[in-house]
Amino acid sequence: MENLLTIKEIARRLGLAESTARYFRDKWPEFMPAVQHGRRTLYRPEALKVFKIIAEETQKRRSAEEIAERLTPLFAVNIESKRSNAEENAAEQQQHNYSLTIYEQQIYSLLEIIKERDQAVQRRDELMLYLVKQLRETQAQLEQARLPWWRKIL
> Tens digits of per-residue pLDDT, 65-75?
999 988 888 87
Q: 91 lies in a domain?
A: no
Based on the fold, state whether residues 13 and 62 are members of the same structural domain.
yes
Highest average pLDDT, of 40-44, 85-89, 107-111, comes from 40-44
In which region does residue 23 sit, left (phi positive, over 0), alpha (psi from -120 to 50) or beta (all else)?
A: alpha
CB atoms within 10 A of CB 10: 23
Rounded Cα distance, 7 and 97, in Å: 35
pLDDT band at 83 (very low <50, low <70, confident <90, very high): very low
Q: 50 lies in a domain?
A: yes
Based on the fold, state whether residues 113 and 139 are members of the same structural domain.
yes
Indicate the helix (H) or strand (E) that contains 71: helix 64-71
Domain boundary among 53, 82, 111: 82
In terms of residue numbers, what domain contains 123? Answer: 97-148
Q: What is the CATH number of the domain that holds 42?
A: 1.10.1660
Based on the fold, state whether residues 21 and 76 are members of the same structural domain.
yes
Helix (H) and strand (E) counts for the chain?
6, 2
Based on the fold, state whether residues 22 and 71 are members of the same structural domain.
yes
Based on the fold, state whether residues 73 and 105 are members of the same structural domain.
no
Q: Which position has the higher pLDDT, 80 or 128?
A: 128
Surface-to-core class of residue 47, CB atoms within 10 Å of its CB (0-12 exposed, 13-18 middle, 19+ buried)? buried
Based on the fold, state whether residues 15 and 73 are members of the same structural domain.
yes
pTM for the whole structure: 0.49
8 A C-beta contact, residue 4 and residue 44 = yes
The count of domains in the chain is 2
Based on the fold, state whether residues 55 and 120 are members of the same structural domain.
no
8 A C-beta contact, residue 74 and residue 27 = no
Surface-to-core class of residue 51, CB atoms within 10 Å of its CB (0-12 exposed, 13-18 middle, 19+ buried)? buried
Is residue 82's pLDDT more than 80? no
| Of residues 73, 89, 60, 59, the one with CA closest to residue 31 | 73
Q: 92 lies in a domain?
A: no
8 A C-beta contact, residue 15 and residue 25 = no
